[in-house]
Amino acid sequence: MRIVVTGAAGFIGSRFAEMLVESAQHDGDEVLILDALTYSGRRENLTKVLESSRVSFLEGSITDPAVTDRALEGADAVVHLAAESHVDRSITGARVFFETNVVGTQNLLESARRAGVSRFVHVSTDEVYGTIPEGSWREDHILEPNSPYSSSKAGSDLVALAYHRTFGMHVNVTRCSNNYGPRQFPEKVIPLFVSNLIDGHKVPLYGDGGNIRDWLHVDDHCRGILAVLDGGGAGEIYNIGGGTELTNRDLTTRILELMDSDESSIEPVADRLGHDRRYSVDWSKIHDELGYSPQVDFAEGLAATVQWYRDNESWWRPLKGA
């Protein structure tokens, strides 16, 4: 089997590529990594996985048909993680989000269709649902995105599902909650706060800090994606959740404690434009159908993640401000 993984030089993609190569289910499979190596995609993230003789790397953009046709020639499956993903950047410069996330996804799907790819897993986000004051979203909930980023991902979801319905492609869409773990780009909240505290700076907390997110360790997310790749039903959507809901202030307090700091290190800042108040996915479907459950305890996972950034300044320091 030949599997193409897009965006695998990034945070989630690089960990997924490692777990795919380590998976007994995929022992012997060939893996091609396709990545444009933009600001958040780093070849250094691939050091471990590229040691395998079964893994090859192609630098290029999913928006380029010549690149995607070349990458998907002879492919059996695609796991599509390449995306622009930072909400703040989408507010200050939205166009690239639609070019990459919508046009790029359509181009990749078209190359996959021409190549006769048998499975296509499109990795998305819970942010496409909007905001929910109570309860949790099931996969059939209406899409109500509120940021340029989430609307571009909602568009890419719809394109992927349209290729299933129109062309009969075996497409799956996964929608995950907030990821954390090693090698996450330091624009995201956990590595941003940890690196700021290491440097003696304050941590910027949006608004009243009451926005609620469900936290999912990257390893658990990748286990969920693997489960969908191996057993997802054609045309099905699967939420992947972590089961730990925290306000941003609660998360900040936990990080401060792990960093031997206190609330004097918090700097309140104006709230993000259009800031969704609460996300919460119902992940009973992937549990019941594919046997997925998160395995990483949040307290342990957060402590290990904070320690990773303490121990790997050489990885994140060149990226601060990028």
Q: Could you give the residue numbers annotated as active site?
A: 126-127, 149
DSSP symbol at 101:
I
**What angle, 0 to 180 degrees and rounded to 10, lies between the N-to-C axes of helices 11-22 and 218-231?**
60
Residue with token string 């949790």:
136
Q: How far is CA 309 from the centre of its chain?
A: 19
Query: Angle at the Cα of 9 (from 212 to 321), degrees rounded to 5?
Result: 60
Q: Write down how long the chain is.
A: 322
Phi, psi of 150 (to 5 degrees): -65, -30
CA gap 63, 18 in Å, rounded: 25
Residue 199: CB partners within 8 Å, gap ≥ 6? none
DSSP symbol at 272:
P
Residue 48: CB partners within 8 Å, gap ≥ 6? 18
Q: How many CB atoms lie within 10 A of CB 280?
A: 21
Q: Which among 97, 17, 89 is positioned nearest to 63, based on CA atoms?
A: 97
Strands (E), the chain: 2-6, 30-35, 55-59, 77-80, 119-125, 171-176, 178-180, 203-206, 212-217, 237-240, 244-247, 266-269
